[in-house]
């Protein structure tokens, strides 16, 4: 088959590794507790998922419920000094523990290997800073997953998601001819915005990512009714954010790529 698509740009946690995206969310809970003795729930920690980690902490501080508890506990709003302290607490914890959540999501490696055989280039972007990604990339490489490029949240002066800059930096590194020939795959709303703002096709991941919050064991044990309920809830959020397609996990990507190829052949663009 003659391909018009040139590249797929994957997110990391919740999309290609770390089923349920537990590494970053749990560490946010731990960082708030360690830095300030402040209680944050796992669901609250998931709220801004997809942003760069500094921006994620800022967003948590602006959440009305969290901000009210912070004000009650400390008698002041969260400030930039607080954000910095939590971030500086977060990073070493994340580097230390990212290995516990580094397993590839089932089907991810098969999909990537198949894409490479078809001539696709593989890019990746992440809300993780480079310091964390150096560790995670080594662990992924040991599982035979090594994207052609990886752009981290702190790599670019323009910033990270929801802006287009990380995805567009992948376009430059991969030497892609047109952004409409790229597909962005992500489990978060900022990830959808990243792809859309870059002019790419966007594919949301419903069941392996942060919005669902399932472990792999929970996903495997869930009956079809439970999966359908979760799929419907998360898909509605991703589609409302502009996703062109929503799949359960990255293993379901090939059929979507075939459909995008047909749409491109008909002259459609993202």
What is the C-alpha to C-alpha distance for residues 258 and 254, in angstroms, rounded to an integer? 6
Count other Cβ atoms within 10 Å, centred on residue 246: 21
127, 53 contact by CB (below 8 A) = yes
Given the residues 11, 18, 186, 252, the one annotated as active site = 11
SS3 assignment, position 247: strand
* Omega prior to 212 cis, within 30 of 0: no
Count other Cβ atoms within 10 Å, centred on residue 24: 27
Given the residues 18, 30, 43, 53, the one annotated as active site = 53
Q: Is 11 a catalytic residue?
A: yes
Q: What is the largest CA-CA distance in the chain?
A: 63
Classify residue 255 by burial, with Cβ atoms within 10 Å: 0-12, 13-18, 19+: exposed
Q: Is 53 a catalytic residue?
A: yes
What is the C-alpha to C-alpha distance for residues 200 and 270, in angstroms, rounded to an integer? 6
| Catalytically annotated residues | 11, 53
């Amino acid at each position: 088959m003659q391909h018009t698509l040139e590249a797929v740009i994957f997110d990391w946690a919740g999309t290609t590794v770390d089923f349920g995206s537990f590494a970053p969310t749990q560490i946010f809970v731990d960082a708030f507790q360690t830095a300030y003795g402040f209680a944050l729930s796992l669901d609250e920690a998931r709220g801004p998922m997809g942003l760069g980690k500094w921006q994620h902490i800022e967003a948590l501080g602006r959440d009305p419920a969290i901000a009210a508890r912070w004000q009650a506990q400390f008698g002041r709003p969260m400030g930039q000094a607080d954000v910095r302290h939590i971030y500086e607490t977060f990073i070493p914890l994340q580097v230390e523990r990212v290995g516990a959540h580094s397993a590839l999501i089932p089907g991810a490696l098969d999909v990537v290997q198949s894409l490479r055989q078809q001539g696709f280039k593989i890019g990746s972007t992440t809300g993780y800073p480079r310091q964390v990604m150096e560790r995670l990339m080594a662990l992924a490489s040991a599982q035979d997953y090594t994207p052609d490029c990886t752009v981290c949240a702190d790599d670019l002066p323009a910033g990270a998601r929801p802006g287009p800059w990380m995805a567009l930096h992948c376009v430059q590194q991969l030497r892609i001819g047109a952004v409409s020939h790229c597909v962005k795959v992500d489990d978060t709303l900022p990830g959808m915005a990243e792809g859309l703002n870059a002019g790419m096709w966007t594919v949301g991941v419903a069941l392996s990512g942060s919005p669902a919050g399932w472990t792999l064991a929970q996903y495997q044990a869930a009956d079809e009714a439970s999966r359908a309920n979760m799929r419907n809830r998360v898909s509605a959020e991703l589609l409302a954010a502009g996703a062109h397609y929503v799949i359960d996990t990255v293993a379901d990507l090939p059929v979507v790529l075939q459909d995008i190829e047909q749409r491109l052949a008909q002259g459609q663009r993202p």
